[in-house]
Structure 1
């Protein structure tokens, strides 16, 4: 019996030292774009980070966020074509295009994909109806693909997804004018990036109140606000700012929240403002 326990302990030590089947180093990258224009520096970096060594390598645009799939597909593909990469395809899965085995294989095997802007809830509705879409995106990411998205395509990257709606002020405004408890509307996103909440069009639309509310409602999450024509390139735990403007990162360092008359507050929020080329760790 003694020898059995010794063998068991040795086996557990051996297992604990082994790498998991899906190693972190084998994952691809995320290019999360804050909306607005997509300058060449962002498109070029997506192509650079993608494995295009196979002559049959292709890029994929997912248009389920957009109002019109044809328009989203055309403008989603155009910057890549303009930068010399022609092997582009678009899918509007679960809406115009059926979620077939062939379509899902295309998602799994794409060298990179771009999730178009529009309405993030519209995209997630398709995913809720067809969870195999999410599974295929994650498989592509695990196999080394670059997953990118702009505006709505950026919002869906985090598990806690800001919808843009407010409970107490239902008339839509692009800027939040309040810091209130139980006002922010969030639903489940894809969760390609964990323990982070993404907000977009950030400086241009002065969305500080919205992201501050988010990190008070979810104090264990980091809030990352990405301005237009700007992106973050996420490779494992390292984040690099790419593009033309700033990225603002909020951390609720105390994890505490105080509520008074519906207003929400906290102390010692850390704010860092990053410029293109700068890096930080999650």
Structure 2
């Protein structure tokens, strides 16, 4: 299997599949309007994109809840749309095809600017709406420039080939009698919950039977926005695009902020392509990544340690130390990534001041990267007024933050091994009073991706036993157009783990997620 890990800047939206399609006539995506497909999970980071596409929170929006067992106004998606400010919501649900064919039922769709199809079970949507006036009005809404969006089953139903349509269970990928979707994206099959349910390779079964199709797998809290012939990836994870070429399956993993061209069946401006597992790749040719290292109060040793991990790859990283005053004066505009190392987060916060912290937020929001280690990870959390609030994370057992230092074991998640290019699932790493991170509940921040958890713990100086194990040791997240990586322990202080920092800096920059070989 061939894989590509792609990290690019967000580009304009469109989408198609046929190799020789006209540039002006999309053959997969909509000619007008836009399609938004979500891989399920937390949608906090996706709702703003939906409303950007709709253009007005006062626009009429239809919510189809039929796929879900909770199909009334207590439906979670319906409630979240209200909470995010939608003022003109109409709920549509029926189990009757006769009702779905009635003019009174479809009337709200004729006046809507957008339709949202909630998740649940795909077969319910097929039984109620396939080949009815309701399905035709959804297509008509798109044709007149509207927005069709959906999550989980609400995403899968928009493909031409429907996966997981079986009434007997969602582990059955191909279900005779339930293999046809609405076809808003032609020649495609769409899967969801890819990262949390280990579904990366599941579409291979479909492509083997139907080699003309393009498979689209979506991680949770991740979406693609489709206009014409390009899909743009947004959210916390990856979109996985798979196809059959010369009898073999080819998969591209496209990160948030990047785009995929369905006419070429390739990522837009793909940086590298491998013929083996992760790490077997070519180097991106977009020039050195410009890294600013915070070197001021509250971080006495970190600049040397971080610089030591990156200077051996001078062709890949351009490094300069920056002071808090330089950050306040806008120096980050000349860089791709800010590395904020260990020390004292409160002292770093005071040195930066409110202006400096807002400059960092602005830098990341506009597409910059942030790598925070130990104190830098504390500083990026969301549960203290003086923090940067880049990541939706709280600090567990803060009163025992000075729990001591030493070597601990961490276990990488599947996403962590992929993003950080780690072959071993468990490593020993240096820890020195870094934050024990857990998910926070900030409604304006997306949920983070857990990359590693603490497998063992340090509980000195009165810290209670059993608290540290299982908390997040390393996480990644989006913030605006930018990317954030946080590590509680110290890869830059652990012989043999320097590669983690190199991979984190590269990923956060929006380039190829793996370091120079």
**TM-score band, normalised by the shorter chain?**
0.7 to 0.9
Q: Distance in 1 between matches of 2:63 and 2:151?
A: 11
The answer on whether the counterparts of 1:127 and 1:133 sit within 8 Å (CA) in structure 2 is yes
Aligned counterpart in structure 2 of residue 248 of structure 1, from 240, 243, 258: 240
- TM-score normalized by the length of structure 1: 0.75
Rounded to whole Å, the distance in 2 between the matches of 1:66 and 1:34 is 15
CA distance in 1, matches of 2:112, 2:163: 27
Match of 1:210 among 175, 195, 202: 202
* Structure 1 residue 107, shift from structure 2 partner: 1.0
Distance 1:142 1:173, change over 3 A: closer
| CA distance in structure 2 between the partners assigned to 1:210 and 1:44 by the alignment | 30
Shift of 1:150: 0.8
Please list, as runs of the form range in 1=range in 2, the aligned pairs for 1:1-282 lying within 5 A after superposition. Answer: 27-39=32-44, 41-52=45-56, 57-70=59-72, 74-95=75-96, 98-99=99-100, 100-128=102-130, 131-163=132-164, 165=166, 172=169, 174=171, 184-185=174-175, 187-254=179-246, 256=247, 267=248, 269-282=249-262
Asked whether the 8 Å contact 1:51–1:145 carries over to 2, the reply is no
For structure 2, the residue ranges without an aligned partner over 5 or more in a row are 1-23, 263-517
Greater gyration radius: 2
Q: After superposition, give the CA deviation of every residue in 1:42-66 in whole Å (9 maximum; x if it has no partner).
A: 111111111439x6x2111001111
Q: CA deviation at 1:253?
A: 1.0
Deviations 1:91-144 (A, max 9, x none): 10344994432331211221111101111111111114x611111100001011
Moved beyond 4 Å, runs of 4+: 94-97
Given that residues 67 and 120 in structure 2 are in contact (C-alpha distance below 8 angstroms), is that contact kept between their aligned partners in structure 1?
yes
Q: Residues 83 and 238 from structure 1, CA distance in 2 versus in 1: closer, same or farther, beyond 3 angstroms? A: same
Using a 3 Å threshold, how does the CA distance of structure 1 residues 142 and 89 change in structure 2: closer, same or farther? same
Q: Using the alignment, how far apart are the partners of 1:136 and 1:197 within structure 2?
A: 22
The whole-number CA distance in structure 2 between the counterparts of 1:26 and 1:251 is 23
For residue 27 of structure 1, report the CA deviation from its aligned partner. Answer: 1.2
Q: Structure 1 residue 207: deviation in Å? A: 1.1
Tell me the distance in 2 between the aligned counterparts of 1:204 and 1:81.
27
Which has the bigger relative contact order, CA under 8 A and spacing at least 6?
Answer: 1
Gaps of 5+ in 1: 1-18, 177-182, 257-266
Q: 1: distance between equivalents of 2:36 and 2:118? A: 12
Cα deviations across residues 47-89 of structure 1 (Å, max 9, x unaligned)? 1111439x6x211100111123116x63222222222222111
TM-superposed CA distance for 1:209, in Å, is 3.5
Q: Secondary structure at the match of 1:46?
A: helix
CA distance in 1, matches of 2:136, 2:79: 27
More helix by share: 1
Q: CA deviation at 1:161?
A: 0.2
Say what the alpha-carbon RMSD is for the aligned residues: 2.7
Q: Output the CA distance in 2 between the equivalents of 1:188 and 1:156.
A: 8
The alignment partner of 1:105 has SS state of helix
Structure 2 length-normalised TM: 0.42
Contact 1:34 1:202 in 2 (8 A): yes
Report the alpha carbon displacement of residue 208 of structure 1 after superposing the two structures with TM: 2.8
**Separation (CA, whole Å) in 1 of partners of 2:252 and 2:235:** 17
Question: What SS does the aligned partner of 1:44 have?
Answer: helix
Distance 2:198 2:49 in 1: 27
Distance 1:197 1:25 in 2: 16
Q: Secondary structure at the match of 2:159?
A: coil
CA deviation map 1:157-181 (0-9, x unaligned): 1111012549xxx7x474x7xxxxx
